[in-house]
């Protein structure tokens, strides 16, 4: 298990580091630096969004693997699927930073984040079904973690048809709502169940 977790930590760290690569120091005269930095704002905001999303995914992965105490032959495969999407995040981040007002950029980003989130959820569900989770973990905690993992990837998935029907901005607004929805789920479900 340690090798799987350490390898995963490395992929998360590299992906988070590569997010900044798309932001370049402007090569302009000093008098033009202000407008050049202003032009970087969309890319910087996309970097921050992706850093937060991947960081939350890493923390979730870390918490899950504290109670996943065994592995079968499929757990590393599912984990590799997750890492595929984690490693992919810098590409749609760069595209979104440059073309954030376009539907293709928004759809590519949403598909990547959704796939990342659902693959992380798949690790949790698979581990429970195969008896890989510590038996001492209460069922209510398992359900709480499961419910908590669904809002962000679900909203990002639904933002794809939303972007196609209503435009890129509508999808991006939905993304912000997904994080609020995740907080509401955490507060309401957590208070009631855990």
pLDDT (tens digit per residue) in 72-112: 999 999 999 999 999 999 999 999 999 999 999 999 999 99
Q: What is the pLDDT of residue 191?
A: 54
Contact, 173 vs 156, CB < 8 A?
no
**Phi then psi dihedrals of residue 111, to 5 deg:** -65, -40
Instruction: Assess whether pLDDT exceeds 80 at residue 13.
Output: yes
Q: Which residue has the higher pLDDT, 182 or 84?
A: 84
Residue 194 confidence (pLDDT):
41
- Beta-carbon contacts of 142 under 8 Å, excluding residues fewer than 6 positions away, are 124, 128, 133
| Percent of the chain's residues with pLDDT above 90 | 74
Tokens 């659902």 found at: 118
And the tokens for 75?
């757990």
pTM: 0.91
- Mean pLDDT value across residues 133-139: 94
């Amino acid at each position: 298990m340690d090798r799987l977790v350490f390898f995963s930590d490395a992929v998360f760290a590299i992906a988070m580091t590569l997010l900044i690569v798309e932001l370049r120091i402007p090569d302009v005269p000093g008098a033009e630096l202000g407008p050049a930095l202003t032009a970087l704002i969309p890319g910087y905001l996309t970097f921050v969004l992706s850093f937060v999303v991947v960081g939350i995914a890493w923390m979730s992965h870390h918490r899950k693997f504290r109670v996943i105490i065994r592995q079968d032959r499929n757990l590393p495969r599912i984990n590799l699927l997750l890492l595929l999407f984690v490693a992919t995040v810098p590409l749609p981040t760069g595209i979104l930073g440059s073309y954030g007002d376009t539907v293709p950029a928004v759809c590519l980003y949403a598909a990547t984040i959704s796939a990342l989130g659902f693959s992380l959820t798949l690790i949790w569900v698979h581990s429970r079904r195969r008896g890989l989770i510590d038996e001492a973990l209460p069922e209510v905690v398992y359900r709480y973690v499961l419910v908590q993992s669904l809002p962000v990837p679900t909203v990002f998935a639904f933002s794809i048809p939303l972007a196609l029907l209503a435009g890129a901005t509508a999808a991006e607004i939905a993304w912000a709502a997904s994080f609020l929805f995740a907080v509401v789920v955490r507060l309401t479900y957590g208070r009631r169940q855990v």
